[in-house]
């Protein structure tokens, strides 16, 4: 029998009392911070930390519950903080409940399902106060918090490792393409080694289910039943916030947005996948120096044509591709590597959290 099972058997064998939130905590509104000086106190909105100021609204452990906007995001804060009016804070009666136990239970409840608005998602104090929560004895709550903290700590360690790997990946990418001058390296313009063009589709032509991938100006791949190209190509955004950051490598049939570029390598001395990794590593910096800025950053055809590419031997290109493929799988693949492990840990955490927080109600 686990420690938690022993505590439940000893302290609440017949079930636990359920209470409304208003009986265990008080929900408080946030307010503006803009007249404050800068400091080290975090200011929370519904999307997380916004800035830092020199004073706090509350300095005890609290669960922050978004009032408007990203109402699916809860925050547990155990250091002084300020909060704006898009997020509530809670004054929790710690003689009845562990603040972090409340946080974990409200996570389980998916408060976003209590949305009261037709437009911007919203929660009200009236609705939240009626939420019912089981209140086992404090030692039981503390043991549940300890178990779930261990799960979240493991996930945090994996996430930190993933961030470090991505930083390592980005550093290695840049170093890899810092070629020294030699007879084995040719420098050519993109127009000399590739067929460059744009698509003819509009975003409103996408389908929920379609036969072919439809590349637009974002990382999301959409679908269409018609295709425009059947080739190996690199796709990048021609304008908008994704310029220099959005890249896709495609092999086969696909449709393309009219303001996205396709780059089909035509030179047999250049591997398409090699160019894909080179472009992902260097194109953003190139765009920042050369892009046309109006209301949005945009890429003109001459800029694409004049983008220069170092071309080592095919053997060296293959070596670089093999290394980048391994890094890419480790950092980004949702079926292998760290993202897959993080996803598995998250599902495991949610499963055990939901199991641990089920209690028979005291009759």
E runs forming strands in the chain: 17-20, 25-28, 38-45, 48-53, 62-66, 75-77, 82-83, 87-92, 132-135, 186-189, 194-198, 212-215, 221-224, 229-237, 247-256, 260-265, 292-293, 297-298, 308-311
Question: What confidence score (pLDDT) does residue 273 get?
Answer: 95
- Per-residue pLDDT at 306 exceeds 80: yes
| Chain centroid offset of residue 296 CA | 24
Domain identity same for 218 and 76:
no
Q: Are 211 and 354 in the same domain?
A: no
The verdict on 290 and 157 lying in the same domain is no
The mean per-residue pLDDT over the stretch 297-323 comes to 90
Sorting pLDDT into bands at 50, 70 and 90, what band is 300?
Answer: confident
Instruction: Quote the CA–CA distance of 271 and 304 in Å, as a whole number.
Output: 18
Position 158 scores a pLDDT of 64
Residues 37 and 81 reside in one and the same domain = yes
Q: Which residues contact 132 (CB under 8 A, 6 or more apart)?
A: 18, 19, 20, 21
C-alpha span between 224 and 153 (Å, rounded): 42
* Domain interval for residue 242: 186-311
Mark whether 22 and 77 lie in a shared domain: yes
Per the prediction, the chain carries an average pLDDT of: 85
CATH number of domain containing 54: 3.90.220.20
Per-residue pLDDT band for 70 (boundaries 50, 70, 90) equals: confident
User: Which tokens go with 215?
Assistant: 């590349």
- Between 157 and 281, where is the model more confident? 281
Flag whether 175 is in a domain.
no
Average pLDDT over residues 167-186: 69
Position 76 scores a pLDDT of: 95
267 with 207, same domain?
Answer: yes
Judge if 24 and 96 occupy the same domain. Answer: yes
| Mean of pLDDT values over 300-309 | 92
Answer whether residue 227 is part of any domain.
Answer: yes
| Statement: residue 148 has pLDDT above 90 | no
- Which of 25-29, 259-263, 328-332 has the lowest average pLDDT? 328-332
Tens digits of residue pLDDT in 76-113: 999 999 999 999 999 999 999 999 999 999 988 888 88
Specify whether 30 is located in the same domain as 93. Answer: yes
What pLDDT sits at residue 161? 67
For the segment 267-292, the average pLDDT, to the nearest whole number, is: 89
What integer pLDDT is reported at residue 155 of this predicted model? 65
């Amino acid at each position: 029998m686990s420690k938690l099972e022993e505590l439940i058997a000893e302290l609440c064998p017949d079930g636990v009392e359920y209470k409304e939130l208003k009986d265990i905590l008080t929900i408080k509104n946030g307010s503006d911070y803009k007249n404050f000086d800068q400091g080290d106190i975090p200011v929370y909105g519904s999307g997380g930390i916004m800035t830092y100021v020199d004073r706090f609204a509350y300095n005890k452990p609290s669960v922050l519950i978004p009032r408007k906007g990203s109402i699916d995001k809860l925050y547990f804060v155990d250091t002084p903080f300020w909060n704006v009016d898009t997020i509530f804070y809670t004054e929790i009666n710690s003689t009845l409940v562990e603040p972090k136990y409340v946080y974990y239970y409200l996570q389980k409840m998916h408060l976003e399902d209590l949305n009261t608005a037709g437009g911007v998602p919203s929660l009200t104090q009236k609705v939240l106060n009626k939420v019912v929560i089981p209140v086992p004895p404090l030692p039981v709550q503390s043991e549940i918090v300890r178990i779930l903290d261990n799960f979240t700590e493991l996930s945090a360690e994996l996430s930190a490792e993933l961030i470090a790997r991505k930083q390592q990946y980005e550093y290695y990418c840049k170093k890899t393409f810092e070629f020294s001058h030699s007879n084995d390296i040719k420098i050519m313009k993109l127009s000399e080694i590739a067929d460059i063009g744009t698509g003819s589709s509009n975003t409103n032509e996408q389908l929920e289910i379609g036969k072919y991938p439809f590349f637009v100006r974002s990382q999301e791949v959409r679908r269409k039943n018609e295709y425009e190209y059947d080739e190996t190509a690199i796709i990048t955004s021609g304008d908008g916030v994704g310029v220099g950051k959005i890249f896709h490598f495609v092999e086969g049939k696909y449709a393309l947005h009219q303001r996205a570029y396709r780059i089909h390598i035509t030179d047999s001395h250049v591997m398409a996948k090699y160019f894909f990794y080179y472009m992902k590593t260097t194109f953003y910096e190139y765009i920042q120096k050369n892009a046309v800025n109006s209301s949005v950053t945009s890429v003109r055809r001459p800029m694409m044509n004049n983008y220069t590419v170092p071309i080592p031997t095919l053997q060296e290109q293959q070596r670089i591709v093999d290394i980048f493929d391994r890094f890419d799988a480790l950092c980004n693949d949702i079926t292998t590597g760290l993202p897959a492990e993080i996803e598995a840990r998250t599902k495991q955490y949610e499963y055990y959290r939901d199991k641990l927080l089920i209690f028979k109600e005291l009759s």
